[in-house]
Amino acid sequence: MRRGLLFTQLLLLTMTMLSRAQQRPQYTQYVFNNYLLNPAISGIENYTDVRFGYRNQWRGINQAPITAYFSLHMPLGKQYLYGNSNSFDEKGNNPMKRSYMQTYMASEPHHGIGIYGVVDRTGPITSSDFKVTYAYHLGLSPKLNLSVGVAAGVSRLILDISKISLENNFDPAIAENADTRIQPDLAAGVWLYGPKFFAGLSAQQLLNRPISFTRNTSYDQGKQAPHVFLTAGYKFFISDEIAGLPSVMFKYVSPAPVSTDLNMKVAFKDKFWIGASYRSNDAIAVLAGFNVSSLFVLGYSYDFTTSELGRASTGSHEVVLGLLLNNRYKVTCPQKNW
């Protein structure tokens, strides 16, 4: 009985931590797919952007987080796809060259839609999210766009009881046949972008739904905590066809302190980029990406853990594969979302 009571206390502690700390997956390569954090990016490019990602966090620690996702978003309307400021006179135009700034034009007003799904497993708990997104992009000036977006869907939380041992099979912290919980979910964001900068503000888990595996309110102490993301980046040129791209992300989940990500990447023409990242009190990472062709792009990052977990972990791996579908102008790197 003592072990059963101990598990009940541990489960309550876990739920309390879930309500007070980061609940969303960690992405080192958020700079490669900001769409996962901000639905206002839906349809920002003039092709269908598809991404597949996999993250193995804190290797060497048993049942450490593993995250996998897919995302797809695209603009709506043939006029936007085939006759607007994103159109190129020749194939393979490089948005990372200095002369591109002289001809850059804000996108015409248009709609964007998308979908994404994320599965994140940590120990006996697996969370899954599936959302549909919508955004509207509006030109504020010849070189400045503002977009607003929303994401709506469901989140699913699964407790794998087979991975835990209970002396009391009728533990009150877990109701019978209550190993799965499905909740509605909502996110929203804004995105301001131009030829040399971007800035975005978004929030996830806005409904603040409870997290519990029992109908006994005495154990109903966890909630989906809202996550707020503030991101910004700037582009400067090292040479005519080499660009430096510093960026920052601030992440806030009450009542935890603000988490800061600092990133720097250097893009060589439209062929490949390398970079480094620092996450406060957590990790230092190295990153690299290759624009294989006008169809495939590939990104990889490795995190060196700087927290106390580094004593047991060999680091974290993350891989992202991108597909540029319906890429009429054969661009090999993003024009608006770099």
Which distant-in-sequence residues (6+ apart) come within 8 Å of 78 by Cβ?
none
Is-contact 316 287, C-beta < 8 A? no
Token output for 92: 């393979």
Q: What's the pLDDT score for residue 281?
A: 84
Structural domain contains residue 1: no
Structural domain contains residue 333: no
Could you tell me the sign of the dihedral formed by the alpha carbons of 285, 286, 291, 296, in that order?
negative
Structural domain contains residue 52: yes
Amino acid (one-letter) located at 228: V
The boundaries of the domain holding residue 37 are 26-212+221-325
What is the number of domains present in the chain? 1
3-state secondary structure at position 69? strand
pLDDT digits 0-9 by tens, 246-294: 999 999 988 788 999 999 999 988 789 999 999 988 889 999 999 888 8
3-state secondary structure at position 109? coil
Q: What's the pLDDT score for residue 85?
A: 43
Structural domain contains residue 12: no
Structural domain contains residue 307: yes
Could you tell me the sign of the dihedral formed by the alpha carbons of 57, 66, 298, 86, in that order?
negative
pLDDT digits 0-9 by tens, 9-52: 444 434 433 434 556 788 888 888 999 999 999 999 989 999 99
Q: What's the pLDDT score for residue 10?
A: 40
pLDDT digits 0-9 by tens, 114-166: 999 999 988 788 889 999 999 999 999 988 999 999 999 999 888 777 666 66
Which residue(s) pair with 129 in the sheet? 118, 155
Q: What's the pLDDT score for residue 88?
A: 46
Structural domain contains residue 122: yes
Is-contact 280 268, C-beta < 8 A? no
CATH number, domain of 134, equals: 2.40.160.40
How far is the CA of 159 from the CAs of 25, 121, 127, in angstroms? 17, 10, 9
Structural domain contains residue 200: yes
pLDDT digits 0-9 by tens, 288-324: 999 888 889 999 999 998 877 767 677 889 999 999 9
Structural domain contains residue 19: no
Is-contact 246 264, C-beta < 8 A? yes
